[in-house]
Amino acid sequence: MKTRITELFGIQHPIVLSGMSWISVPKMVAAVSNAGGLGILATGPFDAAQTREAIREIKSLTDKPFGTNATLLFPGASENAMVALEEKVPVINFSLGKGDWIVNEAHKYGGKVVATVVNHKHAKRAQDYGCDALLVTGHEAAAHGGDATTFCLVPSIASAVEIPIIAAGGIADGRGLAAALALGAEAAAMGTRLMATRESPLHDAYKNLSVEKDVYDTLYSTRFDGLGCRVLDTKAARNAIRQGMNIRKLIEALPNSMVIAKQLHLPYLKLFIGVMASGWKNAKQLAFMANAFKAIRVATEDGDVTSGVLPVGQATGLLKDIPTVAEAIERTVREAEAIAKELAKKAGAAPVITVSEKPKANTARKASPKAQKK
């Protein structure tokens, strides 16, 4: 299956692994790329040295194209993006920030840059400063989807830009891929589907929950990590959303932020002063993120269903098994191709009202003498 995205990235299938912290690790990235898709490394939990190590591990595991992501709102994200540029990573995906400088540097060595967007304003801006593609994230997606659903957002943005689109949100099988292509996308990003595979490092407790849950079993709120975020509906998630950022959660954010600073090898006092100096709105947002990071990590790595919270999309209700990465990708593409062929057959069938029927009615009216006199 060839599209502008497969040609742009030099991949076999129009399938992209979403960059998910603690899940899109080197082995997972390589598994997706080796299966013909595009694996994207999540660098959120890494410092610059860890990012470089992870990129080099991926290179040792695959000779296929792959990417890294950078959520520019996070501390250390710009440094991680710089490492990706130094390592000449084929594809760099950024979000929650302006990445024009990434575009300029990546294009010097032939790298491609993808901006994650949820609205027209950011889509057009990313195109204007040279991004090669867009990852358009609908409301159904895990974590930070937009306000509009994939079914409306993708064709709307596809009509507004010239660069190719990767659709994200609600896609977990061949029906979703076929629909995304019909809407104007050139590929589909799959996070929820690929996190529930055998190679995924996601804890088995949450893999099994993801298969058991229905399309209705997610929660969307700004009270988990400060942004509009979709997570699996569990008691822990409901509790986190109910509390939001109260005094207790604000106090919890202090040790949680210390862990993050240590993890990223950032001087905590300098980080703390910088955050507080940036204003209450930004400080509150980073406090939300500090608590959310811990909840996501203990869910992903430890399988903690008591205090862990896992970002998942509504596509969790479409999961019926836990296949290998290669099986999931091959099955998705095979189903999409079969659907495309079936739709082509239907399009070739005679419609209920044929073109020849309309001229007959017009001819009859013209033949009426009474009509001609009028």
Residue 38: Cβ-neighbour burial (10 angstroms; 0-12, 13-18, 19+): buried
- Is the pLDDT at 31 greater than 90? The verdict is yes
- Of residues 175 and 366, more confidently modeled: 175
Give the Cα-Cα-Cα angle 288, 290, 292 (nearest 5 degrees): 65
Q: Pseudo-torsion of CA 307, 311, 314, 320, nearest 10°?
A: -80
Tokens of 21: 């912290």
Q: How distant is the alpha carbon of residue 199 from its chain centre?
A: 19
Closest CA to 111 of 57, 67, 165, 51: 67
% of residues, the chain, pLDDT over 90: 75
- The most distant pair of C-alpha atoms in the chain lies apart, rounded to whole Å, by 95
pTM for the whole thing?
0.87
Count Cβ atoms below 10 Å from residue 193 Cβ, excluding itself. 27
Which token pair is 96?
Answer: 């929650």
Structure tokens at 259: 């862990």
For residue range 95-141, what is the model confidence (pLDDT) as tens digits?
A: 988 999 999 999 999 999 999 999 999 999 999 999 999 999 999 99
pLDDT at position 264: 65
Residue bearing tokens 């804890």: 203
Q: What would the pLDDT profile of 242-258 be if each residue is shown by its tens digit?
A: 999 888 888 887 777 77
Residue closest to 154 by CA, chosen among 175, 190, 181: 181
Query: Is residue 171 scored above 80 in pLDDT?
Result: yes
On whether the CB atoms of residues 164 and 124 are closer than 8 A, the answer is: no
Count CB neighbours of 221 within 10 A. Answer: 17
Q: Around Cβ 364, how many Cβ atoms within 10 Å?
A: 10
Task: List pLDDT tens digits, range 89-99.
Answer: 999 999 988 99
Helix axis angle, 100-108 relative to 77-86, nearest 10°?
A: 10
Helix or strand run (H / E) with residue 26: helix 26-34
Distance CA 257, CA 273 (A): 13
Domains and CATH numbers, the chain: 4-201+324-340 (3.20.20.70), 212-314 (no CATH)
How is 194-233 classified by DSSP, letter by letter? Answer: HHTSSS--S-HHHHHHHHH--TT-EEEESTTTSS-EEEE-
Distance between CA atoms of residues 205 and 208, nearest Å:
5
Average pLDDT, the chain: 89
pLDDT at 280: 67
Rounded to whole angstroms, what are the CA distances from 79 to 73, 91, 346?
Answer: 12, 16, 52
**Residue appearing with tokens 């027209």:** 120
Which of these ranges, 10-19, 145-154, 166-175, 244-253, has the smallest mean pLDDT? 244-253
